[in-house]
Amino acid sequence: MTELSGSIGAVGRQLPVIDLVRCARCGLPETYETIEFDPAGVCNICRQKEFRDDQIDWEARGSQFAALVEEYRGKYEYDCIIPFSGGKDSTYTLYHMVKRFGIKPLVVQFNHGFMRPTLLKNNERTFRQLGVEVLTFTPNWKVVKRLMLEALIRKGDFCWHCHTGIYSYPMHVALKYNTPLIVWGEPSSEYTAYYDYRDDAIEEVDETRFNRFINLGITAEDMAGMISSDFDFDPRDLAPFTYPPVRDLRRLKYRSVCLGSFIPWDTRNQAQTIESELGWEGDEVENMPPGLYRYEKIECYVQGVRDYIKFLKRGYHRVTQMTALDLRNGRIEKADADRLVREFENRRPPSLDIFLEYLGISEEEFNSIVLKTVVPPHQPDFDAITAGDKTWDFDLWYRER
């Protein structure tokens, strides 16, 4: 680890530079999931983007999707299920499906427990303007907290209940409402190489994908065994986090696909569309550059903790991911991207205090847990961490005491 000379940004102190190998084009580091570098030092995510833009016949894919919609239209209780968080991607997906195809969807919302005031207002406005029916499910909060602690200890990622619930619960609803078409938004190929655009295949949001990277390698059955010795729960509490039997889904003749596999995905432009057409509002997010990415990850008030853990584990957080996306799209200069990363990524989020209250652990215990999941060659430097700023709604977030 070396020191960068000179003070940078608002923190006004020398900040460390993590000596990680990084993509010569977008800056993603070697600790990034699924990343590989070619002889030119360019990562596979950048190469996927090139293939997406130059080689995929998007007109043909659009026709393929239109045929898929017609195959299911009017034959079931709903034309399709749309899993919905209220963020930019699911809101755009719902908008696109209603406005472009005039379908009747059932919107399914899995409430992970941390929805923010602006998001809730966005949701109400979106549902009323588009005229859709909505089913919202909220899991047992006491179970959620125990699952968060166990996932943090096991994987250094407390979001297991959110990852699994968002992807498994809508599949249960598809079975209950006899609705076989499920339409998600953004494909994973935009950010990782678990599925590669260069394979020119349609990414299916199925059990294989669920077990490949959504559930962190921990099934609901695994989780039940992990927490059973010290936590009293009803086995039915974990049912929403299980994936339905494949035989039942096949009997339904389900298709579970991403809209972004059929149209070129562009988060910034799509956010502008829902802002102008639906009045959707972005928000500030802890430790993100003010005003620059107000459309990104506004759904959760512990997002700052999630990004902070990623920084401690892997040496980067969401600023790197967003500037990498902008660099691939030619929307930012490399020097500006590097400056934003150095200025904002090493900040402790204020929401960490709330998070520690929920889990009933000290910050020392938190740091000790996260240190066990660090991805080499990265090594976190706690001395370089500075305090981040509160967001406007911080004092409105639920507290345990």
Q: What is the pLDDT of residues 336-367, one digit of tens each?
A: 999 999 999 999 999 999 999 999 999 999 99
Residue 68 vs residues 246, 255, 387: alpha-carbon distances, Å:
21, 9, 50
Please give the structure tokens belonging to residue 65. Answer: 């999707």
The average pLDDT across 363-388 equals 95
Q: Give 80's strand partners.
A: 105
What sign does the dihedral 28-29-34-36 (CA atoms) show?
A: positive
pLDDT in tens, 24-55: 999 999 999 999 999 999 999 999 999 999 99
Q: Which of 218-222, 254-258, 285-289, 379-383 has the lowest mean pLDDT?
A: 379-383
Helix (H) or strand (E) segment spanning residue 304: helix 303-314
Please give the structure tokens belonging to residue 32. Answer: 């990034």
Residues in the chain: 401
Q: Give 81's strand partners.
A: 106, 182
- Do 203 and 257 touch, CB atoms closer than 8 A? yes
Has residue 119 got a pLDDT over 70? yes
Helix axes 160-176, 141-155, angle to 10 degrees: 130
- Do 101 and 74 touch, CB atoms closer than 8 A? no
pLDDT in tens, 175-190: 999 999 999 999 999 9
Q: In whole angstroms, what is the distance from residue 120 CA to residue 133 CA?
A: 16
- Do 269 and 197 touch, CB atoms closer than 8 A? no
pLDDT for the residue numbered 18: 54
401 falls in which pLDDT band (50, 70, 90)?
Answer: confident
- Do 396 and 351 touch, CB atoms closer than 8 A? no
377 preceded by a cis bond (ω within 30 of 0):
yes
Please give the structure tokens belonging to residue 179. Answer: 């609705």
